[in-house]
Structure 1
Amino acid sequence: MSFRLRPSKSPHREVKRAARDEFRRVIKLLEDPAADTEESIHQLRVGMKRLRALLRLVRDALGAVPACAEQQRCKALANAFAGSRDAAVARGLLGELLAAVPDPELRARLRVGFEQSVPMTMQPPLPLPDVAQHLRLMRRDVKDWPLQSLKLRHLNDQLARQYRRGRRLYRSLGDDFAMALLHEWRKEVKRLLYQLELVRGRGRRSKLDRRIKRLGSLLGDLHDLDMLELQIESHIEDYWLDDRLALYRLLHERRAALRSRALALGSKIFVEPPASFARGRLTEWQRDR
Structure 2
Amino acid sequence: MAFRFKLGEPFDEGSRRIAVEQIERAQSSLHDKRDQAVSVHEARKSLKRLRALLRLVRPAMGEQVFRAENGQLRDIGLSLSGARDRHVLLETVDKLERAGRLGRKGLADTLRQTIAAANGEGTPLGTRGALARLAEAKKRLADMQIAGTGFEVVAPGLERSYRRCRRAFSAAYREPSDEAFHEWRKGAQAHWRQMTLLSRGWPDYLGARAAEARNLSQLLGDDHDLAVLVAFVHSDAGAGLRGEQAALIERAAREGQDQLRLSARPYGERLFADGPKRLCRNIGVYWKAAFDAKEHEVDADQSRPAQPAQRVRRQSAPRRRAAAHPKV
TM-score, structure 2 normalization: 0.80
Quote the residue 1:222 is aligned against.
Answer: 223
Q: CA RMSD in A?
A: 2.1
- The 1:150–1:69 alpha-carbon spacing in structure 2 relative to 1, beyond 3 Å, is farther
On the 8 A contact 2:80/2:130 being kept in 1, the answer is no
AA aligned to 1:18 is I
Superposition map of 1:88-127 within 5 A = 88-99=87-98, 100=100, 101-127=102-128
**Deviation for aligned residue 1:157:** 1.8
On the 8 A contact 1:58/1:150 being kept in 2, the answer is no
- The 1:48–1:110 alpha-carbon spacing in structure 2 relative to 1, beyond 3 Å, is closer
Superposition map of 1:181-220 within 5 A = 181-201=180-200, 203=203, 206-220=207-221
- The 1:51–1:272 alpha-carbon spacing in structure 2 relative to 1, beyond 3 Å, is same
On the 8 A contact 2:44/2:77 being kept in 1, the answer is yes
Question: Could you give the per-residue CA deviations for residues 233-270 of structure 1, whole angstroms, max 9, x where no partner exists?
Answer: 00453112222222122111111000101112111111
Question: Could you give the per-residue CA deviations for residues 14-64 of structure 1, whole angstroms, max 9, x where no partner exists?
Answer: 111111111112222222344x21111112212222212211211222111
Which of the numbers 277, 280, 283 marks the counterpart of 2:279? Answer: 277
The unaligned stretches of length 5 or more in structure 1 are none
Quote the residue 1:65 is aligned against.
Answer: 64
On the 8 A contact 2:10/2:149 being kept in 1, the answer is no
- The 1:107–1:213 alpha-carbon spacing in structure 2 relative to 1, beyond 3 Å, is closer
Question: Could you give the per-residue CA deviations for residues 155-189 of structure 1, whole angstroms, max 9, x where no partner exists?
Answer: 11221121111111212233421111111111111
Report the Cα distance in structure 1 between the residues aligned to 2:173 and 2:224, rounded to whole angstroms: 18
**Deviation for aligned residue 1:148:** 4.8
On the 8 A contact 2:192/2:211 being kept in 1, the answer is no
AA aligned to 1:210 is A
AA aligned to 2:245 is D
**Deviation for aligned residue 1:110:** 3.2
On the 8 A contact 2:26/2:47 being kept in 1, the answer is no
On the 8 A contact 2:81/2:125 being kept in 1, the answer is no
AA aligned to 1:25 is R
AA aligned to 1:200 is S
Quote the residue 2:5 is aligned against.
Answer: 5
- The 1:7–1:114 alpha-carbon spacing in structure 2 relative to 1, beyond 3 Å, is same
Superposition map of 1:238-277 within 5 A = 238-277=240-279
On the 8 A contact 1:3/1:18 being kept in 2, the answer is yes
Sequence identity (%): 25
Question: Could you give the per-residue CA deviations for residues 177-226 of structure 1, whole angstroms, max 9, x where no partner exists?
Answer: 11111111111111112222211128576322211111111111111111
The unaligned stretches of length 5 or more in structure 2 are 295-328
TM-score, structure 1 normalization: 0.90
Question: Could you give the per-residue CA deviations for residues 98-130 of structure 1, whole angstroms, max 9, x where no partner exists?
Answer: 332454333333333333333244231333xx5
Quote the residue 1:85 is aligned against.
Answer: 84
Quote the residue 1:56 is aligned against.
Answer: 55
**Larger Rg belongs to:** 2
AA aligned to 2:127 is L
